[in-house]
Chains A and B, each alone.
Chain A
Amino acid sequence: MATIRIAAPDTASAGEVIELKALIQHPMETGYRSGPDGKRIERDIIEKFEVTYDGETVFEADLRPGIAANPIFTFYTRATTSGPIVFKWTDQDGESWSETHELTVE
């Protein structure tokens, strides 16, 4: 299980633009490096990062090996209604991890 860290406000006023920060522990192995035995280390990357807010997709990212290990993203969204913000990462083999953050809009 990958470690996930989310930084997001718990409450916001309607219409406020809030900052969301999401990090997942992942090697983002490029496939260009060699291990101690001289053999190439297989590529292993997260290819997709998606964020939904109250069921609507608000942010998406297509990732390539140029993204550093333990990918972190900071982005913004406008608070509208109270609801779950779901962060979901999917790797090249289709394995996925997700985390939900509840936002209360006053």
Chain B
Amino acid sequence: MKTLSRQTSFARRSFLQLGAAGLAATALPLRAAADAVDADAAIREIFGDKPLNEGRVTVKLPPIAENGNSVAITVAAESLMSPDDYVRRIAIISPRNPIAEVAVFKLSPHAGKAEVSTRIRMAGTQRIRAVAEMSDGTLWHGSASTVVTLAACLIG
């Protein structure tokens, strides 16, 4: 009995290895996706090479999204929104989508409230990042994670 269970577990292990190899092989052609490095590069490209401060930006996302094709997101930045202290731009960045940059919003002090909501595509479970550029030029960063059960498909 004991030998039998050992055998099955061995068989299962080799099957799992095969499966993992198969998965890796199929995943390869999809490596067009962005990664964390691309996300950092996208932020630098939009805002220039400035330090990112943690805070003042909140990203609201559902904890689980059943359909990655349309996920509701709200990005808010803490700001007085007065003529000399306001949020100039807000960018939404994905570390896993084919293109890291999702959207860039330009706000004016006229907005009254630095908050934007939209719906984005998510090519898999990831931590979506948002960067706000204040009128004094400082950059602030926030993020939120969503588990995506059905990714916005790259194939069809």
Contact = CB atoms under 8 A, between A and B. Distances in A.
Given A64-B102, A77-B112, A72 B97 contact: no
A80 B153 CA distance: 44
B71 interface: yes
Interface stretch (B7-15, B118-126, B129-137): B118-126
User: Quick one: which of A30, A53, A68 has the most chain B CB within 10 A?
Assistant: A68
Interface in A30-79: 30, 32-35, 53, 56-69, 71-78
A104 to B, nearest CB: 18
Contacts, number: 99
A76 B105 contact: no
A67 B113 contact: no
Interface of A: 17, 30, 32-35, 53, 56-69, 71-78, 80
25 contacts: A30-B121, A32-B32, A32-B154, A56-B108, A57-B106, A58-B110, A59-B105, A59-B107, A59-B108, A61-B103, A61-B105, A61-B106, A63-B103, A64-B101, A64-B102, A64-B103, A65-B98, A67-B103, A67-B121, A71-B119, A74-B118, A75-B105, A76-B112, A78-B112, A80-B110
